[in-house]
Each structure stands twice: as structure tokens, then as C-alpha cells.
Amino acid sequence: MRVLIVEDEVRQAAALARGLEAEGFAVDVAGNGTDGLWMATENAYDAIVLDVMLPGMNGYRVCAELRARDVWTPILMLTAKDGEYDEAEALDTGADDFLSKPFSYVVLVAHLRALMRRGSPQRPAALVAGGLTLDIAEHSCRRDGVAVELTPREFAILEYLMRRAGEAVPKRNIVDHVWDSAYEGHDNVVEVHVSSLRRKVGPDAIETVRGGGYRVGGRVG
Ligand code: CA
């Protein structure tokens, strides 16, 4: 896991870098906003620790500019408790999380790990097809904007079909990808789950295709 620290206070930056390296992170340090922006654009980091108070280009501007350049690396912003900037503003500019200075080092590492687990805000894109929206990160499903509760297996089947929206997907492929490889059951198990899915998301959302498969989102081509 590679982390970029953008902090002008040399001692604080060095202490942070040492601490994170001891936790097993690979760490780069930028001493001002302009360098930070450049490094974050040129390199792929798993997370960025970005101080708000920086000479020249402040942390908010760095954050907003990164998002404007389509860089979606998770950003943990360091704010000063009684400074002129506040936490709401940090989130407004596209930061994913913030910590007020002074912060505990343990808390910082916990926040960083949580951010990395969540990944980039753009990466878990929602799948949209046939009136259905599947949010992979949230594990939620909506039909025409209305939330639908699915079991994990139903969700997995629907995700598999929606990743192939417009394609006729044979039942066997669904069994092979949604059940683990040790499963030797019959393809009919898919039918049972699909009929349950149809009761929840609407009978027309999942089409049965000739030859024994399913399709979401209409035929392509
Ligand atoms: Ca600073």
C-alpha cells in the first residue's frame, strides 16, 4: 500500500512517514501543494494524507484539482480544529475523510486502513440496466429508484447478469461463477433463485432466453 503525505511541516511529515513505514506502508512525502498535486497525478497511490494548511496551494485546492483531473485516490484531509477551515469544507472539496489536528497516530492509521478498504470513490461504480441499479460497494439494489432487499446469492446472480447486460447468459455460466467450484448441483438451482429475484425486482427485469439462459437489459445489437 503506497501512501502520499502532503505536509509542509518537515518534522510532522517525517514523523508520519516513519510511523506509516513501520506499519508496512510505502510512503512518499510532498512538502507543498504544488508538488503534492503533481505526485498524486503522476503516481498511483492507495491513499493520500493531505494537510489543509499548506503554503501556496492549500489542501482544499489540491483536493479539488485532483478530482477535477479525475484522480480518485482516497484522500484523508488533516484540518486544524480552530483554523479558518472546517471539516464540512474538506468533504465539500472531494475529500473522503478528515482528521482534526492534533490527532492520535493510532486513529490516523485506522482511518487510513478504512479508506483503503473502501477504495476509490469512483471504482465501485453502480451497474445500471433494465430499470435496475446495483451499487456494488453498498451491496444495494434499486428498482426504478425503490430499494429492493436481496439475499447475497440473489445479489451475486443479478450482479453477474448485469455485468453482461444485453447478453444471453447460460445457466451453467451462472452456476460456475456464482457458486464456488466445489458445487456440483443442478442448473435448476439457478431457476429457483431467479424466480425469487423476479418476485422482488419485477417479472420483466430478467428475461428468459431460448436455450436456457437469462438476460438483463434487453438484447444488444
Ligand atoms: Ca501544514
Report yes or no: 75 and 69 within 8 Å, Cβ to Cβ: no
**Distance from residue 8's CA to the centre of ligand 1 (Å):** 5
Range of the domain at 133: 126-216
pTM of the model: 0.55
**Distance from residue 80's CA to the centre of ligand 1 (Å):** 9
Cis upstream peptide for 124 (omega within 30°) = no
The pLDDT of 65-89, averaged and rounded, is: 78
**Distance from residue 167's CA to the centre of ligand 1 (Å):** 53
Of 195 and 46, the one with more pLDDT: 195
Quick one: 31 and 49 in the same domain? Answer: yes
Across the chain, mean pLDDT equals 85
Convert the pLDDT of each residue in 105-127 to its tens digit: 889 999 998 888 876 655 446 78
Tell which of 118, 142, 167 closes a domain: 118
Q: Strands across the sheet with 140-143, in order?
A: 126-129, 132-135, 140-143, 146-148
**Distance from residue 7's CA to the centre of ligand 1 (Å):** 5
**Distance from residue 51's CA to the centre of ligand 1 (Å):** 6
Quick one: 98 and 172 in the same domain? Answer: no
Cell numbers for 98: 478528515
**Distance from residue 127's CA to the centre of ligand 1 (Å):** 40
**Distance from residue 12's CA to the centre of ligand 1 (Å):** 9
The pLDDT of 21-31, averaged and rounded, is: 90
Convert the pLDDT of each residue in 162-221 to its tens digit: 888 888 999 988 887 777 656 666 778 899 999 999 999 998 899 999 888 999 987 654
Tell which of 86, 118, 150 closes a domain: 118
Does residue 221 form part of some domain?
no
Quick one: 153 and 106 in the same domain? Answer: no
Quick one: 63 and 132 in the same domain? Answer: no
Partnered with residue 138 across adjacent β-strands are none
Of 119 and 41, the one with more pLDDT: 41
**Distance from residue 105's CA to the centre of ligand 1 (Å):** 16
Does residue 186 form part of some domain?
yes
Q: Which helix (H) or strand (E) holds 216?
A: strand 213-216
**Distance from residue 73's CA to the centre of ligand 1 (Å):** 20
Nearest CA among 11, 46, 61, 2 for reference residue 31: 11
Please tell me the predicted confidence (pLDDT) of residue 87: 64
Please tell me the predicted confidence (pLDDT) of residue 123: 47
Tell which of 118, 144, 171 closes a domain: 118
Please tell me the predicted confidence (pLDDT) of residue 213: 92
Convert the pLDDT of each residue in 4-17 to its tens digit: 999 999 999 999 99
Total structural domains within the chain: 2
Quick one: 84 and 146 in the same domain? Answer: no
CATH of the domain at 8: 3.40.50.2300
Look up residue 95 and give its amino acid.
A
Quick one: 104 and 15 in the same domain? Answer: yes
Quick one: 155 and 106 in the same domain? Answer: no
Quick one: 69 and 133 in the same domain? Answer: no
Please tell me the predicted confidence (pLDDT) of residue 7: 96
170-173-178-180 Cα dihedral, nearest 10 degrees: 140
